[in-house]
Chains A and B, each alone.
Chain A
Amino acid sequence: MIAIGTLLHVKQLSRSGLELTISLFIPIVQATLAVYLFRSGGESHRLLDAAVGAGMMGVWSSVLFGSGGAIQSQRWQGTLEMIMLAPRRPVLVLLPITLATALTGTYALLATLLWGRLLYGIRLDFVHPAAFVAAAPVVILSLGMFGLLLAATFVLLRNANALANTLEYPVWLVSGILVPITVLPTWTTPLAAALPTTWAARALREATAGGPVWPSVGICAGISLICLALGAFALTHVERRARAAATLALA
């Protein structure tokens, strides 16, 4: 059920011309940002690392806005009531949607690598190419599970869109997606350690530039499973509250 649901939601999301265009062309900006940042820092040898990091920014944006707004977008489409009427736990109904938003985020990752290669001549010399190919789907699906927690909590907030906007940049900064965590204030370290985005970015960076990939993948998956459990618990509460407050439908 989760596999077919995810596949069909990926299909639905991938057929939006606007969203597809955004996810293919925003990476130009992100790739450019990353390349100039690293070149000016005298780290031209780490451009691939920068491109992967910039791609992860795209995945995070997709999860943050797609999963965070998952319930609201289903409500706007008029499908929320229909899916919540299914005789399933709410988590099983919504997880395919948040997984799909993470998977469609890979378009941004791939596009960033492509633009980096075409515009800036970045060579795709991965230290562990097989590990990169294996780890990328795991960390991306993990972020989809993290997305479920966002979906469940954002729906309780009246100004979730504003919160999503303010979370986008701080999270990729704190997670060390583009700049190393070591240059950030020490108080951010525990926060970074608790975020699955930190470990996802680290796993892909280690596959790109060298390092132990699998411990980071494992920690990312572990934190995401905790988020999934918390999200599942929150969704049960959210569903009952929505039935009591009559907020499943738009009207």
Chain B
Amino acid sequence: MGDAIEAARLRRTYRSRTGFIRRRTTEIEAVRGVDLTVARGELFGLLGPNGAGKTTTIKLLNTLLIPTSGTARICGFDVERETREVRRRIGYVFGGDRGLYDRLSGLDNLRYFAELYGVPPRDQKRRIAELLDLVKLAGRERERVEGYSRGMRQRLHIARGLLHSPEVLFLDEPSIGVDPVAARELRRTVADLAATGTTVLLTTHYMAEADELCDRIAVIADGRIQALGTPAELRTHADGRRVVEIEAYGVPDDTVAGLQRLSGVREAAVEARGALQILTVQSDAGVDVQGEVLHALGGVRLGRVSTREPTLEDAYVAIVSGS
């Protein structure tokens, strides 16, 4: 039995035309030669910043887009020529609260998609009941989807994606906008699916999610895979580094740029958490930059300052920044 997902030199260019009299065509290369294979039953993560090409890659693999060049096969079937065979074997779940019929109940949504996805009528009732239990929507299935919370909608999306027991499940940022408790349940559901043999390709922005779930991770940036390996292997991209993490309020952009120019500093990035900012400065392990960093931040209100070993997220930042 071959791999569940195989992609070779996969490329996708978007063309858009502007102007009425003087027509101009703009081309954007979203995916620039992606090669990857995912084994059956593997839980594979695709990480990357916004616009890196994650969703385009997923849509090329799940037949929603035709590759500009290159090939992709799902369970041995070509995504461009054997579309229906591929679609029988895949499920697709994306994050956000669109993609459902809001004025229908959760149950009606599942009945409709069960018909569309070819679940035999005699199996539909049992399968829908199983999935409602799995995603913890049993008892709420007769309510209209427009009254569902975002987490409930996301769970209904997952149930919908699993109706026909797909061999390969594409999850495109499924935990986006979901509260931490619901996100934890979602991770458990995904892990259970992989444990029962479903191949999962997951894109996410959350490093902890990828670290906890994925057997292997590919980091994609600028339409190319920049690194691929197990979470432990990817962490080595941040080997030889040390991280200073500083809580701050109102760090100017030019100060961050100035930190990056300090001797021994490899990366400096700011993440906003409400009014609080988390400033992360990666440096060579042998260089203590803490004093210079704090000096450069003179005048900025600071909170806790700590030094730690690099995490997967730091490795991700190192990979993406180096791309």
Contact = CB atoms under 8 A, between A and B. Distances in A.
A16 interface: yes
Nearest to A245: B15
B66 A87 contact: no
Interface stretch (A28-36, A76-84, A171-179, A212-220): A76-84
Contact of B87 (A4, A11, A86, A246): A86
B113 interface: yes
Given A12-B104, A78-B98, A243 B66 contact: yes
A8 B112 CA distance: 7
A88 B116 contact: yes
Interface in B81-127: 84-85, 87-88, 90, 92, 96, 98-104, 108, 111-113, 115-118
A211 interface: no
Contacts of B96: 78
A78 B100 CA distance: 7
Given A79-B99, A79-B100, A81-B99, A244 B66 contact: yes
B103 A86 contact: no
B209 to A, nearest CB: 23
Contacts of B118: 86-88
B116 A1 contact: yes
Interface in A8-58: 8, 11-12, 15-16
Interface residues of B, number: 32
Contacts of B62: 85
Given A77-B98, A85-B92, A93-B116, A8 B64 contact: no
B160 to A, nearest CB: 7
B300 interface: no
A248 interface: yes
Nearest to B56: A246
Given A4-B112, A4-B115, A5-B112, A85 B104 contact: no
Contacts of A11: 103-104, 108
B235 to A, nearest CB: 33
B283 interface: no
Contact of A246 (B63, B65, B111, B113): B65
A97 B55 CA distance: 28
A234 B62 CA distance: 23
B14 A82 contact: no
B14 A246 contact: yes
Interface in A203-244: 240, 243-244
26 contacts: A1-B115, A4-B112, A5-B116, A11-B103, A11-B108, A12-B101, A77-B99, A77-B102, A78-B98, A78-B100, A79-B99, A79-B100, A81-B92, A81-B99, A82-B99, A82-B113, A83-B116, A86-B117, A87-B85, A87-B87, A88-B84, A243-B66, A244-B65, A244-B66, A246-B14, A246-B65
Given A5-B112, A5-B116, A86-B113, 16 more contacts: A4-B111, A4-B115, A8-B111, A8-B112, A11-B108, A12-B104, A77-B98, A78-B98, A79-B98, A82-B99, A82-B113, A85-B62, A85-B63, A86-B117, A93-B116, A243-B65
